[in-house]
Structure 1
Amino acid sequence: MNVRTMVSLAALSVAIASSATAYAQDAAPQGAAADEGAAIIVTGTRATGITAAESAAPIKVLDSAMLDKVGQPNLNQVLTQLVPSFTAEAFGGDTANLTLSARLRGLSPNHALVLVNGKRRHGTANLHVLGGPYQGGAAPDLDMIPPGAIGRIEVLEDGAAAQYGSDAIAGVINIILKSDKDSISGNLTGGQHYEGDGTTYSGSVTFAPYIGEDTYLNFTMFHRYHGFTQRGGVDSRIYNPDGSLRSDLGAAHTAMAAVGLPGAPYTNRIVGDSRSTLSTVMYNAGHDFGGVEIYAFGSYGRREASAYENYRQPWRVSRSPVLGVAGEEILFSKTGFNPREAIKEDDFSNTAGIKGEAGSFRWDISTTYGQDYAKLYTLDSANRTLFINTGTTPTNFYDGFLKASEWTTNIDIAKEIEAGLAAPINVAFGGEYRENLFQIGKGDFASTYFEGGQSYPGFLATDAGKHKRNNKAAYLDVAINPVEMWKIDGAVRYEDYSDFGTKWTWKVTSRVDFTDQIALRGTVSTGFRAPSLLESYYSSTNVGPTTAYVQLPPNSAAAKLLGYDDLKPETSTNYSVGLVLRPTPKLNITLDAYQVKLKNRIVGTGSIVGLTGGEVTNQAVLDAIAAHGNVLDPYVLEVGDAGINLFTNGADTRTRGVDLTASYPTPLADGSILWTLSANYNETKITRLRLPDDLYAADARSILEKASPKYKIIAGALLNMGALSVNLRETFYGKSSQVVIYNGTTPTVTAGAAAITDLEVSYELSKGLTVSVGANNLLNKKADAVPNGPDGLPIDGGAVLDAPVTFTPYGINGGYWYGKIGFKF
């Protein structure tokens, strides 16, 4: 038993429960869910004093006690386990596996706007390039925000581009930081997956010293380690399903196996989590001078991570003893090698502002600068052509860097005007100026020599470059209560982009409370999203052992050769209508139906093939690759597949869905049970394809329409009885599927419907000290296996038998247990 396991078991043995007690203190009988409607919200309206229960738009409020109820210390996992319309990426291809993404209402990650204390958060520099439901994602990295720093999260599930600007088509996630005084809180947690891998431990502490009644300062430090997981089976090229050597091996394979392969028979480790360490600090501070407050908040995060790629067999990199003369083959490695892609990432953000009242006007002026800077590496690899030509090759490569930054300055002004109505008219107006930058830095010599390092070539000179743009915006927002039972909120916004020109968007939201038990609400709005600079200009080469696909920038001359145009903005029209019901004082129900129609939606083209099995199938594709300056692996050109991928305004889509929430507390003699139910049904259809079939692959269509489950239902029960609490949550996912391209065919991979059980038991040992033990995916539900093709190899699994379907919404790793100690003094 290693030290990490002993530490985790020690934490587990002490634990009988943690954050559920904290949750229960807020939740039952006046619990977080029961009390959620009474929380004053700042998202979705610019009026003051509005509670979640009174909101004209659907909004979920998650307080810090609720966030503590999720075992895995990761904000993406927190939200996906608590919000039905939110889904987190379980596994990413290539560098996407190093910075996993998330999305809202089945749309792109780029369609949800992330705010911190109401201010726009910058996006990641690590674009999600490869196909899948999260393709094109360059949204803010929620994992860089430590959960311990959060006071509450407001999730607005409604289009809000006219209120907040570009990106708010699916909704808004507003993270409100803690502003405590005179306290110290935090937790220690340790756990691992049932398979014995993916060991995770983390520590978080928040200091909130008492400085004065008019001042607050919260400082949070967070550190987390997460180990590799391995979920693929044996390497089918060499081994039988039982791990024995295949009887039909050739001489080369037999010699290779005789040497002794690392990790045999699990030589290919591509299907699994990356190993990562993450350290973040975050602060939130302010001082009230009496009517005028200065404030500042910010964060810094450092991530180092690496993920395994496809195993390379020994003869993949070999040479003759004398250049140009045939002879005995010299292998770079007799046992082959398992390359890894790695990242060293620095992410920071800082906001400073001043707000107050002048006369009857409320005003707020702020500026925010955020940047994500990622250095990329290929480790434990080799450059095949460099080895052939010189007899030597490095094993580690610097592939270049990605940098994305955003500088936003806002002025917001509001005034209440008495007009003899049921409430004063709230008029808000303001402006915003924003600058964005995206830069790709060139890799080192060895990473860019011909095809570069195996598994991930460095960025070429033709990939590298710096791109900028700015945006100016102004808005007007008016909230009216004509009579006591009727609320109307309207907004209009003007945007002026340096690269796309101008655009007007608008929104009208209304709510009618017929009685204290029944209310009807609805919204009609338009939206606008300018393409991110990453979608427009990102360029790289994505490779496998026998494949090479160039990610062409759509705003490049090479893309024009194939008939693609520069990216243009997406536009949307959103409709929603909902019911708010309180049939009894304790039973709260909301039901909201919505439709989002997107025009000129930016999508990935899928794999546009120019070479199959070493045979040319589309010379124009190969010409475009050459025109862009990319050099493909000679081995791939001989026997493999090659082509291009890019982003394009390829489709108009329609997304329809329904959100449901309900909560009901049941009192007990010594406590209570809080019952909760929330659900989302969501379906996306392509209503118009704006590309010819030969420029839009079958796998890309399925990603939009089929790769997300149509429904997700979360049922929960929180028992609170004195110092003991038990939290049980059951999440039901519908099935999803995705077409893959395999040897010129288009088979379908399916992830079946699943029920995932989460359980946590908590006990308050003494005031302020709580321990817990729990499990996510308690019953160890495993992802479905990728089926095999006619050749006996998995059709989408890197030659790994029993490879799990990687786009399952509940992950590929199965059960995860944890222990936690929480404290607050």
Structure 2
Amino acid sequence: MRHLSTISRATLAIALVFGAAGEAFAQADAPQDAEAEPQDAIIVTGTRVTGLKASDSPTPVQVLGADLLKRVGQTDLMQALGQNLPSIQVQAFGNDQTAFHPSIKLRGLNPNHTLVLVNGKRRHGTSNVVVTNALWTGGAAPDIGLIPQDSIERLEVLQDGAAAQYGTDAIAGVVNIILKKNASGGVINVTGGKYFAGDGLNQSYMGNVGFAPIEDMYVSVTAEHKVHDYSFRGDVDPRVVDTGQSGSANTGSNGGRTILARYPGVKNFPNYPYVNRIFGDGRMILTNVMYNAGYTGIEGIEIYSFGTLSRRVGRTYQNYRLPNVVYGKSAQASVNTANPTGDIPFKAGFSPQEVLRELDFAITSGVKGEFGNTTVDASLTYGRDTNKVYVEGSANAALYYDSSTLTQNGYSPSDVHDGDFVGSQWVAALDLTHELDIGMAQPLNIAGGLEWRRERYELVAGEPASYYVGSGFLQGGIQSFFGYSPANASAHTREDFSQYLDLSIKPIDPLLIDAAVRHEHYTDFGDTTVFKGTARYDITPTFAIRGTASTGFRAPTLAEGYYSGINVSVSSLSGIFAPNSAGAAFLGLSGLKPEKSTNFSAGVVVRPFDGMTITLDGYSIYLRDRIVQSAGFTGYSNNCKYLPGGYTQGMDVNAAKAAFTGTCTGFISPSVLDALAANGVPIIPVITAINGGASGSLNVNAFVNGLNTVTQGLDFLATYTTDFGDWGRVDWSVAANYNKTRVSSIGAPPSKVNQLQGIFDRYAQSAVTDASPKWRLNYGIFWQKGIFSVSLRESIYGKTKLLASRPANANIDYYQHVGTKGITDIEVGIEPKKGLKLAIGANNLFDIYPDKLPADIRQEQYNLSSTAYISQYPSFSPIGINGGYYYARVTAKF
């Protein structure tokens, strides 16, 4: 079945649902009406008017109930969103630390462009910014994976710019998570599953209980513990097999023939020849606890509080290191020769792991009340996210070498603390609404408020062994993740004070007009004012038109402004500089500017008959001074061999080349080398050390205001409910999104780097414009009769591609392609007794994988003994790389 074509799978799904599609966006346990259709649900997002239905909203708002979220099989909230809303794309694969903080994109924009609320209150972001994934770079948005599903009553997703209503970072839209307020009863869910390939075991234990300690009080507590194990979808590591290539006689970094001759113990390394386990999921253990509480014993007033506490430990494999990477002085002369002798601690090589230990918590408290026609809501929120980063099973090659003698072995700790990322946020908010009868079809609804926000971002230095550089003979820093020295440590804060006014009126019954204005003052970026105007006109009871125009302004996150880091692979060293750092100044950078946006949208709402709702909304988002991760500015390339002590700061290009080698043919940029030195980074990766150098590179980048982009698209949703009487009830829907981004202009490169390189190269541009599906379509059905239920969904993803350079000739480009793919999800449930439900299901039922990288490209990688050969599938694939997943779930309600 894995080899069924996309068309045949789609045809099968359509046939099964009698031509309907997409799983129904049902709202479960809705407080206003448990039987309400999703578009009849009363919403609180995208409007300040009380009692407005989703189907009557002037902007597109999708409502997802708790039962629907459960039917995706995987318990992560991001997966539930991504599988149900085509306009939301979920990061399908992550490496390094980003493997544990997957993000979501709304309408194709960056994760930072979507505002996340919990019970209408701003959620703090993660302190772990994405810097190793071009599609998601810069993302430091709130981690909604820390919200357990059993705590949720429903989700409301506003698919429209809302900066003037909620805050200047709501450029793409808003996700509002509404929590349960149950004062009794509860639920326990136990879920287990794994990939069809047999790995990636997932275990989840989750439960919610509600109780009332005193009269007129509710306390709802949810706890979750889940474990996700490693998966592996890579291929052999060609460096440790006989590729038929002689490789480098000096380093042995290429060519398994030479490595196996020198180090036959490599064959004893676990999983040989699949020694490099970097291409797959990491292992994660996550515990979440959440509460939502309130007291309503005072007439017209509610005192409330809610909060979360999360603990995560994650591990990801890094590139396998060959035996000749770490050695002592007694092995210096023979480490890359036949029959090496002396101090070589890893005779079979080693495989470092990056380890994350995260603690995240948030708490909100407030009071709200009704005083006649006026409502008041005052709240205070504090959130904090701490990520402690470690490397385990590794070594610092420079420290090991420098601590050795000709008669004594060297020493390096194998488990090292690299440093910490810490982010926190205070938010104090006051929101007021008032209804004023001015003689029109409905009273004028006046909403206004104040918000004060204080943010802090901190980089904490790690252990000396993580950043030790030493004599410069061998590469400094712990292998795979160069640590943070005290010189790199920093702490930065800023404050923002905002005021907003929102007016909503129905001059005549069919016409709804909403206008909002917001002013914000940042202590680091000054003042801005943004606007939003929305209108809806119901031409008939069954047909309405709606449209919006708005502006937005997003200040860079503190993580974008101040994160810095070094990544060391087996053949390169790359760094990212904080835009305000001393190193960035050597490149000609002077910090970031805010982004500005202009949004337009227009759509229709059609209700041709009872039970069916159809919405179609088009949008256009103009984003100026877009913050992106720049192209890598090259320090040197090719086989420029470093001569220890030969380079000093301030040399010109010719002198720099001579300092590396008198016959250097590669590219040299003194400003980049000076920038690295200014940030305390060594400029000597292992590829240039000892007796010679193989092809490799050294480059740096930074977050920059590099682009102006235009994103345009369409959102479509049709839902229908059929009651077949004795045959049960069926919810049908079809949901689709078309989204296209183009780059309208590119900024100039920094003044002190090679101007021919550009600030945002064609490969990075391709990640923005090509690597997300232009269209996505969901078909499905949910049928329920008595104790039985069946959920079926077919998700079809359009083609994607990504520009890359050929391994054997970087001057020749090619596209990595992932063709149109259809993914079938199914769940079958039975409720043998009231309150007990058993379910089995599968995501990606037919075990569909992305298209492999082209065979000729992989052959070049293999011939070059490149570690890139291990990644046989494009990591940007929207369907992921792991194939099918099956699961079982037991639910007990009480």
- TM-score normalised by L of structure 2: 0.86
Corresponding residue of 1:744: 810
Distance 1:790 1:613 in 2: 21
- How far 1:783 sits from its partner (Å)? 2.0
| 3-state SS in 2 of match to 1:649 | strand
1:654 aligns with 2:696: no
Shift of 1:452: 1.1
Question: What is the deviation of 1:184?
Answer: 1.4
Matched-pair contact (CA < 8 Å) for 2:422–2:459: yes
Once residues 584 and 860 of structure 2 are traced to their aligned partners in structure 1, the CA distance between those partners, rounded to angstroms, is: 35
Distance verdict in 2 for CA 1:21–1:475, change over 3 Å: closer
Equivalent residue for 2:218?
216
Q: 1:257 to 1:672 in 2, by over 3 A?
A: farther
Match of 2:747 in 1: 690
What are the equivalent positions in structure 2 for 1:36-115 lying under 5 Å apart?
Answer: 36-115=38-117
Distance apart, 1:739 and its partner CA:
2.3
Written as runs of structure 1 = structure 2, the 5 A alignment for 1:116-265 is 116-211=118-213, 214-239=216-241, 249-258=256-265, 259-265=267-273
**Unaligned 5+ residue runs, structure 1?**
1-19
Contact 1:789 1:795 survives alignment (8 Å): no
Partner of 1:5: none
Once the two structures are superposed, what CA deviation does each residue of 1:535-555 show, in whole Å capped at 9, x if it has no partner?
Answer: 011011011111111101111
**1:16 aligned partner:** none
Sequence identity (%) = 42
- Farther off after superposition, 335-344 or 733-742: 733-742
* One-letter amino acid of the counterpart of residue 747, structure 2: R
Structure 1 partner of 2:313: 304
Q: What is the alpha-carbon distance in structure 2 between the residues aligned to residue 187 and residue 530 of structure 1? A: 40
- Displacement, 1:316? 1.6
Q: Give the match's secondary structure for 1:276.
A: strand
Within 5 A, what are the aligned runs for 1:378-417?
A: 378-390=391-403, 391-417=410-436
The corresponding residue for 1:806 is: 875
Checking the alignment, whether the CA contact within 8 Å between 1:262 and 1:335 is kept in structure 2 is no
Residue 803 (structure 2) pairs with residue 734 (structure 1): no
CA shift digits 1:603-631 (9 cap, x unpaired): 11132222223335123222211122211
Relative distance call for 1:24 and 1:139 in structure 2 (3 A) is closer
Partner Cα distance (1:653, 1:24) in 2: 35
User: What is the match of residue 357 of structure 2?
Assistant: 344
1:800: Cα distance to partner? 3.5
Q: Specify the code of the residue in structure 2 equivalent to 1:196.
A: G
**Whole-angstrom CA distance in 1 between matches of 2:591 and 2:23:** 54
CA contact (8 A) 1:432 1:473 kept: yes
- SS state of the match for residue 411, structure 1? strand
Conserved 8 A contact 1:104-1:170: yes
Gaps in structure 2 of 5+ consecutive residues: 1-21, 245-251, 404-409, 470-475, 641-665, 750-756
| SS of the residue 2:773 aligns to | coil
Aligned to 1:452, which of 460, 477, 488? 477
Higher-Rg member (1/2): 2
Question: Equivalent residue for 2:249?
Answer: none
Structure 1 Cα separation of the partners of residues 606 and 373 of structure 2: 36
Counterpart mapping for 1:367-766 below 5 A? 367-390=380-403, 391-450=410-469, 451-615=476-640, 616-617=666-667, 618-637=669-688, 638-639=693-694, 640-668=696-724, 669-692=726-749, 693-741=757-805, 742=807, 744-745=810-811, 746-766=813-833
Task: Mark the CA change 1:240 to 1:218 in structure 2 (over 3 Å): closer, same or farther.
Answer: farther
Q: Is the 8 A contact 2:677 2:683 kept in 1?
A: no
2:613 counterpart letter in structure 1: N
- In 2, Cα distance between the equivalents of 1:91 and 1:256? 33
Residues 292 and 354 of structure 1 are in contact (CA less than 8 Å); yes or no, is this contact kept in structure 2? yes
CA deviation profile, 1:235-259 (whole Å, cap 9, x unmatched): 12233799xxx99743432343455
Q: 1:325 offset after TM fit, Å?
A: 10
Q: CA deviation at 1:565?
A: 2.9
Equivalent residue runs for 1:326-345 within 5 Å = 328-345=341-358
Moved more, 267-276 or 355-364: 355-364
What is the RMSD of the two structures over their aligned residues, measured on CA atoms? 2.5
Q: 2: CA distance between counterparts of 1:281 and 1:234?
A: 41
Q: Give the secondary structure class of the aligned counterpart of 2:238.
A: coil
Distance 1:104 1:593, change over 3 A: same
Distance, in Å, in 2 between the alignment partners of 1:148 and 1:21 is 20
8 Å CA contact retained: 1:277, 1:304: yes
- Residue 96 to residue 797, structure 1, CA distance change in 2 (3 Å): farther
Which piece of structure 1 moves more, 662-671 or 578-587? 662-671
**1: CA distance, partners of 2:174 / 2:23:** 29
Residue 776 (structure 1) aligned to one of 836, 843, 863:
843
Which deviates the most, 789-798 or 578-587? 789-798
Q: For the residues of structure 2 that align with 1:796 and 1:536, how far apart are their CA atoms?
A: 37
Q: 1:560, CA displacement in angstroms?
A: 2.4
Residue of structure 1 in register with 2:647 after alignment? none
Matched, 1:293 2:318: no
1:95 counterpart SS class: helix
Are the aligned partners of 1:166 and 1:529 in contact in 2 as well (CA < 8 Å)? Answer: yes
Mark the CA change 1:32 to 1:273 in structure 2 (over 3 Å): closer, same or farther.
farther
2:340 is the counterpart of 1:273? no
Q: Report the equivalent of 2:330.
A: 321
1:536 and 1:801, CA in 2 relative to 1: closer, same or farther beyond 3 A?
Answer: closer
Distance 1:657 1:180 in 2: 39
**Is the CA contact 1:386–1:449 (under 8 Å) kept in the aligned structure 2?**
yes
d(CA) in 1 for partners of 2:262, 2:90: 43
Q: What is the DSSP-based 3-state SS (H/G/I as helix, E as strand, rest coil) of the residue aligned with 1:419? A: coil
Describe the SS at the equivalent of 1:267. Answer: coil
Residues 779-820 of structure 1, C-alpha deviations (whole Å, 9 max, x = no match): 001122233256343999834346221111121100000000
Determine if the alignment matches structure 1 residue 817 to structure 2 residue 889. Answer: no
- Which residue identity lines up with residue 271 of structure 2 in the other structure? G
The residue identity in structure 2 corresponding to 1:641 is S
1:303-350 residue CA offsets vs partner (Å, 9 max, x unmatched)? 000000111111121233188999834322011111110100000000
Measured against aligned partners, the alpha-carbon deviations of 1:35-92 in whole angstroms (never above 9, x if no partner) come to: 1112111100111110101100000000111111111110111100011111111112
TM-score with structure 1 setting the length: 0.94
Question: Which secondary structure does the structure 1 equivalent of 2:763 belong to?
Answer: helix
- One-letter amino acid of the structure 1 residue matched with residue 279 of structure 2: V
Amino acid at match of 2:790: V
Moved over 6 A (4+): 20-25, 30-34, 322-327, 794-797
Matched-pair contact (CA < 8 Å) for 2:395–2:414:
yes
